[in-house]
C-alpha cells in the first residue's frame, strides 16, 4: 500500500503526527555560553515550523559537564526553562510538534567546553579520533545521577511546553557508549554481554517515562535515535543494533530514528553487502518493534526521494539539510514546487540561518 506523505501517523502513546516529515536535529552552535536559548535560535526554528509534523530541536545537554560542542543548547538547569518555553512556543504556534534531542557527550566531551573536566564514560577507553582524551570510568552512583539528569531535563522541557524528547542514542555519545563493546568494558550490572549493555538505555527511557507520568503528561513523546553500526573493533554491528531495538521495543518508545547520511544506506562494516539496512531492519524486527514507527534519515531533497524512502519501508522521514536551504521545505513539496538545493551569498540573513551554522555550511553553498 502506498503511504500518504501528508497523512497522519499514530504513535503508540495516543498522539499523532500530522504528516510523515520531520525536521531532523541539527546542532547550530548558537546558544548562549551557558547553554540558554538565544533569539537567533528562536528565529531559526520558528522560521522552519509549520510544514513538518514535528521539529526535533538539536542535541541538548542534560549535564553541564556533558557538552560536545561550543554554543550547545542545554536543559540542565531550571533557569533555562524560560528560554526553552519561548523556543517551544515558536515551533508549536505554527503547528508543528516540538521535540528536543537530549544527550550526554560521555567520552566525546571536550574538557575546554566542560570547565576543564575530564570526560566520563562507561569505561576509560579513548574514542578513536584525533585528540581524544581518555575518559574516567563512571562510578555506579554517577551513572544513577546521569539517569536522573535525563529525567530532570525531561521535566524541564515538559514545563517549557515541549511535546516530547528524542533520546540521542547515536553519533557515539554516552547512550551509545554504554551499548558499545568498544567503550563499555564494565563487569558490573552496567556492562558485560550485549543484554547487560542495554541496561543504561532502558533505565534512561524508564526515567523519562516516570517523569512524564509524574508531570501528568503520560502522552509525552519519547523517541530514540541510534547509529546502526560502528567501525571500532570490537564495535556495534547491525545484528547488535537489532538486538538493542528489539529489547527497547518492550519499553515506552514512540518512534525509532536511524542516524544515517542516506536513507538507502548499506553496511559500512561489510562494504560487499548490498542489502539495505532498512530491509534488514524490517526482516529482523520483532512483533513489538514493528508496532513502533521507524524514521529514516539522510539524502531527502525532493518529493521523489520521499516517495522512494517511504516505499522502502520507513513510516517517517527526517530531513536536515533541505530544511536549511528551504525553511518551507514540506509546504514546497505539498504544493509540488521544486526545492532549492544550494545556498547563496546573503542567504544566512534571508533564511534565518544562525551565524556559527552558516560558517560550517560551505558544502551547501553555490560556487
Ligand X SMILES: Cc1cc2nc3c(=O)[nH]c(=O)nc-3n(C[C@H](O)[C@H](O)[C@H](O)COP(=O)(O)O)c2cc1C
**Which residues contribute to the site for ligand X (CB under 6 A)?**
24-27, 58-59, 101, 168, 170-171, 225, 259, 261, 297-300, 319-322, 357
Q: How far is the CB of 357 from ligand X (least distance, A)?
A: 6
What are the start-end ranges of the H helices in the chain?
A: 39-48, 81-92, 140-159, 174-179, 199-214, 238-248, 277-284, 287-290, 303-312, 321-325, 329-334, 347-350, 355-358
Cell of 290: 514493528
Residues 6+ apart with CB under 8 A from 204: 147, 150, 167, 175
Residue sitting closest to ligand X (CB): 320
Q: How far is the CB of 195 from ligand X (least distance, A)?
A: 25
Q: Of the two residues 185 and 334, which places its CB atom closer to ligand X in the complex?
A: 334
Q: Of the two residues 312 and 320, which places its CB atom closer to ligand X in the complex?
A: 320
Q: How far is the CB of 61 from ligand X (least distance, A)?
A: 11
Q: Of the two residues 150 and 190, which places its CB atom closer to ligand X in the complex?
A: 150
Please say whether the beta carbons of 318 and 263 come within 8 A: no
Please say whether the beta carbons of 232 and 185 come within 8 A: no
Q: Of the two residues 158 and 306, which places its CB atom closer to ligand X in the complex?
A: 306
Q: Of the two residues 197 and 265, which places its CB atom closer to ligand X in the complex?
A: 265
CA pair distance 130, 78, nearest whole angstrom:
35
Q: How far is the CB of 25 from ligand X (least distance, A)?
A: 4
Cell of 317: 522521514
Q: Of the two residues 123 and 176, which places its CB atom closer to ligand X in the complex?
A: 176
Q: How far is the CB of 327 from ligand X (least distance, A)?
A: 14
Q: How far is the CB of 1 from ligand X (least distance, A)?
A: 25
Cell of 244: 538493542
Using CB atoms within 10 Å of the CB of residue 115, give its burial: 0 to 12 exposed, 13 to 18 middle, 19+ buried: exposed
Q: Of the two residues 25 and 191, which places its CB atom closer to ligand X in the complex?
A: 25
Which single residue is written with the C-alpha cell 555560553?
33
Q: How far is the CB of 218 from ligand X (least distance, A)?
A: 26
Q: Which residues of 101-114 are buried (b: 16+ CB within 10 A; e: fewer)?
A: bbbbbbbbbbeebb
Amino acid at each position: 500500500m502506498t503511504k500518504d506523505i501528508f497523512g497522519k501517523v499514530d504513535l503508540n502513546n495516543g498522539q499523532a503526527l500530522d504528516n510523515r516529515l520531520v525536521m531532523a536535529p541539527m546542532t547550530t552552535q548558537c546558544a548562549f555560553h551557558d547553554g540558554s536559548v538565544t533569539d537567533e535560535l528562536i528565529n531559526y526554528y520558528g522560521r522552519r515550523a509549520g510544514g513538518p509534523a514535528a521539529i526535533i530541536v538539536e542535541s541538548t545537554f542534560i549535564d553541564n559537564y556533558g557538552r560536545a560542542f561550543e554554543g550547545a543548547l542545554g536543559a540542565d538547569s531550571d533557569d533555562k526553562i524560560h528560554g526553552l518555553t519561548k523556543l517551544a512556543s515558536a515551533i508549536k504556534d505554527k503547528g508543528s510538534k516540538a521535540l528536543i534531542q537530549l544527550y550526554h557527550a560521555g567520552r566525546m566531551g571536550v574538557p575546554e567546553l566542560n570547565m576543564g573536566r575530564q570526560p566520563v564514560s562507561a569505561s576509560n577507553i579513548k574514542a578513536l579520533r584525533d585528540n581524544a582524551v581518555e575518559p574516567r570510568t563512571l562510578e555506579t552512583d554517577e551513572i544513577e545521577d546521569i539517569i536522573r539528569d535525563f529525567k530532570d531535563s525531561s521535566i524541564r522541557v515538559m514545563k517549557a511546553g515541549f511535546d516530547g524528547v528524542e533520546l540521542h542514542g547515536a553519533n557515539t555519545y554516552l547512550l551509545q557508549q554504554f551499548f558499545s563493546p568498544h567503550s563499555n568494558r564494565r563487569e558490573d550490572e552496567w556492562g558485560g554481554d550485549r543484554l547487560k549493555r542495554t541496561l543504561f538505555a532502558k533505565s534512561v527511557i524508564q526515567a523519562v517515562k516516570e517523569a512524564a507520568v509524574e508531570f501528568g503528561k503520560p502522552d509525552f513523546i519519547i523517541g530514540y535515535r541510534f547509529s546502526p553500526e560502528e567501525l571500532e573493533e570490537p564495535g556495534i554491528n547491525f545484528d547488535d543494533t537489532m538486538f538493542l531495538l528489539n529489547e527497547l521495543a518492550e519499553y515506552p518508545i514512540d518512534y525509532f530514528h536511524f542516524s544515517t547520511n542516506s536513507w538507502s544506506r548499506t553496511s559500512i562494516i561489510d562494504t560487499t553487502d548490498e542489502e539495505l539496512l532498512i530491509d534488514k531492519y524490517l526482516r529482523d524486527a520483532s512483533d513489538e518493534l514493528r508496532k513502533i514507527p521507524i524514521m529514516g534519515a539522510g539524502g531527502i531533497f525532493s518529493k521523489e526521494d520521499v516517495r522512494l524512502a517511504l516505499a522502502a519501508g520507513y513510516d517517517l522521514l527526517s530531513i536536515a539539510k533541505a530544511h536549511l536551504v528551504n525553511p518551507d521545505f514540506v509546504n514546497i513539496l505539498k504544493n509540488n514546487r521544486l526545492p532549492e538545493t544550494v545556498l547563496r551569498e546573503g542567504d544566512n540573513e534571508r533564511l534565518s540561518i544562525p551565524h556559527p551554522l552558516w560558517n560550517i555550511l560551505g558544502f551547501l553553498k553555490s560556487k
